[in-house]
A = this chain, B = another copy of it.
Amino acid sequence: MEANGTSFLDKVLNIVKEDRSESVPLIQFKHPKDLEAILNLDVKEGVNDKELEVCVREVLKYSVKTHKATFKNQLFCATDPYGLAGAWLAEACNTSQYTFEVGPVFTLIELKLLNHILKVFGIPNGDGIFSPGGSVSMMYGLVAARYKAFPEIKTKGMRNLPEIVIFTSQDSHYSIKKAAHWLGFGTDSIRIMPTNDHGQMLVEKLDEAIQIEKDLGRCPLFVNATAGTTVLGAVDDLETIADVCKRHGVWMHVDGCWGGSLMLSPKYKSKLRGIERANSIAWNPHKMMGAPLQCSVFMVRDKGLLHEANCAAAQYLFAQDKFYDVSYDTGDKSVQCGRKIDSFKLWMMWKARGDLGLSELADRTMATAQFCIEAVASRPGFKLVSNVLQCPNVCFWYIPTFMRGKAEDEQWWEIMHKITPKIKELLILKSQLMVAYSPLLHHKNFFRLAFTFHPEVDNQEVLQMLQSIEQSGETVTMDMLT
């Protein structure tokens, strides 16, 4: 390898291009032990470039092609090509997002982009930070709320605080549980609010629950409203939640990791009305919008709070006697020290498309999801979980012919609960479609098709997915379900 270390990068580009050709299947599934036996993953002995290339090709061969339209397994999909280009450039520049001196342009890009994003979300005077994912963004929200209410937490810890309670909905993301553990609240401090049939928090229950906690002498600190739940894509009634939070003096956080991308669309942003009243917001452009993982933005209304809560003023890094304006050394507002340049790939995507281009992609995504809902509703054997389109999630069961026209009793649903995963398995083994399934509350396992900013996914593609599900579904027999 030559000194500047780029010779293997030519190979990488070729490998990636070949990997993206249409004929490459979505997945070539092997069970873990079988895959282990095929691959030569041991690193003890070094290999030469030629052998390494062979290994790399094997790695890619058995990796999932998440850029394909038929990858519908998660809430991410279809890396934006400009985002990927940005990610590659940021990797090549290999620096950290903490001081201006080591990332002058990336510092400015993060600031500029965050300001634009804050405007899009209706809190133009706020502050923000790129974090390594939605779960960390959730922690940023809880930390900010806690510090605002009890600044002594930073030095004194949780032991001397009153009994804090936090509120979330039954359909919200599980990261709030992990955050409650890590940050020292404990999961018992979480009050889980019921949801309606479409997955939205029952806000009157929230109002009551906060009052009950107050009456019991506890301290209601934080309401986690969700704009786009993981499974159903439900958007809580943010406007009314904002009223409740305001009345009770409770911090309002919006987990918009999934649904936040709808703010890019003048047509659909009204679904998130009230988000501009939140104290903090989390948004993952690496989900619906297609930025390469990881790309998560945490926003906070209170401008100085992130820095005040998180700073530690390490002298070796954030020296105040530098020769440039050190207010551009923004890293001390982060809980991380070294921080990956996650802003640049999003900047590339935005720069390439502009506000207008992104809004068109959002609108197109929602239109595709709407078409899918209608197609599912009208198609024999398909049964919607909810017929309301909030975020571009479409949830449904496929009922094979042999199950139709029977009483939908408990036993029937137990069989359906096994049929859904079985169909998924068949689809994977045929490399036709990777689709998510989940149970939810009283619902047995159902499918979730979640649409993202994918320029290739059109109505025809949707019909193809439904047809694949149908075809595999029809090959399921009772024998397979043991």
Contact = CB atoms under 8 A, between A and B. Distances in A.
| This chain's copy number in the assembly | 2
A363 interface: no
Contacts of A316: 230-231, 436, 438, 440, 448
A456 to B, nearest CB: 6
Interface stretch (A121-129, A244-252, A346-354, A405-413): A346-354
Given A1-B81, A32-B325, A136-B336, A52 B421 contact: no
Interface string A33-76: 10110010111111101001001101110111011000001101
Interface string A188-228: 11000000000000000000000000000000000000000
A418 to B, nearest CB: 7
Interface stretch (A337-345, A376-384, A461-469, A471-479): A337-345
Interface string A144-165: 0000000001111111010100
The 6 closest A-B pairs by CB, nearest first: A184-B184, A157-B186, A5-B81, A46-B354, A316-B438, A132-B132
Interface string A79-93: 111101101110111
B9 A13 contact: yes
Interface residues of A, number: 163
Given A16-B89, A157-B186, A351-B43, A8 B81 contact: yes
A130 to B, nearest CB: 11
Contacts of A392: none
B8 A82 contact: yes
B43 A66 contact: no
A315 B448 CA distance: 13
A52 B153 CA distance: 46
A74 B55 contact: no
Given A67-B5, A95-B63, A112 B41 contact: yes
